[in-house]
Structure 1
Amino acid sequence: MAQDRPLNPSELLSVLDWYRAAGVDVAVGEEPVNRFAQRPPARPAEVAVPATESRPMAQGLAEAAPAAAAAFATDPGEARGLAATAQNLAELEAIVRDYDGCGLKLRATQLCFADGNPDAQIMLIGEAPGAEEDRQGKPFVGKSGQLLDRMLGAIGLDRTKVYIANTVPWRPPGNRTPTPEELAICLPFLHRQVELVAPKVILTLGGPAMQTVFNTSIGILKMRGRWSELTVGRHGVEAMPTLHPAYLLRNPAAKQQAWRDMLSLRMKLDALGIG
């Protein structure tokens, strides 16, 4: 085992980068602390307040509490109202970029709004950006994105013929699954994105994206490969879920199922006259 030694500046920066990617944001001490053994701090002695001052102070605290809570509350209604004002994708991207109502934005490097052709009739929707997507500001550009490109190429498609987005446009810390609250906040932006692109076909990638877009709790393995007529926002579209490329990298045997889904997609496009 290597002997402990002080890290040089380059190594320290590498460690900090690793901590950030893993979602670490709180420093702890060298020794563990048994919180169960700790006693709560003694309450300070109450200070008498003149009757003439006690009522206004209580009223002030009562009025301030809801305002403080509201400042940290997340409201899908606000996102829905902002999204509805966007008349095109450029306006929607600017709205999402300036939006501060989702905590994921505070931890992400940059916005990953979309990639591909905005005029495409095929839309792909994944779950959330990963580390490489967070660095480049585009969805599906890491290893899973490279596999996705090969999957599309196998049926005669590429990024000039599809439009790619995610259910949330900011990377969750440590690549964790977005929380229901985060999904609810970002969903109005995704719905408006679908309305503005107005694709004829949607392909969802992975279980979380499928459950969000299809509004279901059914597992991906039960629904993948099945076509449905779906309404996303106010746009009607034919949609099918398939496995996420990252899942295929971890489970190569599942590529056979994904290939059947891609063949089904090709048949659907041919039937609709989409090149």
Structure 2
Amino acid sequence: MRKERDGISVEWVKLELLRTAYATRGGLLAARDPRFVIGWYLIFAVVPWFTHNITVLAALFTVCAAAVFLSRVGPLVLGLFVIGFVLESLYVLFAAWLFGGDMSTVLALVVLTLKLATISLASMAAFVSLDPEKLSDGLLSMHAPAMLSFGVSYGYRMLPVLMEEFHTVVDGHRLRSAPLAAKGFLGWRVVVRTATTLVQAFYPLMLNTAKRTRTTVEALETKGFTYAAEHPDGRRIRLAHLRADHRDVLLIAVTLLLVAASFALGHAYPLQAGVG
């Protein structure tokens, strides 16, 4: 019993977030060129909006669910998605019943839910497979602004610092606070104390983060980061390690084939929402 209770803790959540951010689990897309992974994601981020056919959307959802499984998405992110998807499905049914809708109303809401769920699954599979360096280099090679690619990489790298800083500030508040004399009905005093501590921790967290950010920016500028990121020779040297092979091309080809098969399946077995 103690082992199960320790399985989900603040430390476990922190480790899961770091594993997710730094793509340490491997998987189908982790070894692929980041440019092709971003392209793979864009396919599933755009295609669902071109159809209202539930059969097509269900097929696309299934493809993305298989990609999530093959990409070894962690239990924390996957669990949050499942909880959100179940709650969204219950909301669809409740909203249709509350406003006196018929089956066409339910189908219209199911269409939107499937679209958002498909894009969410594709996001998980793609970005869990890209570490900060690969994602930043992929964006830079696609001619994204240098500051955007740096911001993405820096944001990922600041994640563990923010988590440690937050933990330190919250622990400081807890050490300086007297214990509660009573928890109150259903522990409402504990909830209020926790919420108050989180609000009070926000300002020192932002202040300490701003100090770290300024130090990092000054160090990067001293080393000529802006010039190197914008100069063609600097970009060429930084992106020299990117290499696409036949497996990357095969990934996109198979993806397009599966998308075409989804539309063919929807044409053979149409289930259309009642939209104009």
Task: Flag whether TM exceeds 0.5 (same fold).
Answer: no
TM-score range, shorter chain: under 0.3
Give the TM-score normalised by structure 1. Answer: 0.25
Give the TM-score normalised by structure 2. Answer: 0.25
Higher relative CO (Cα under 8 Å, sequence separation at least 6) belongs to: 2
By percentage of residues, which structure has more strand? 1
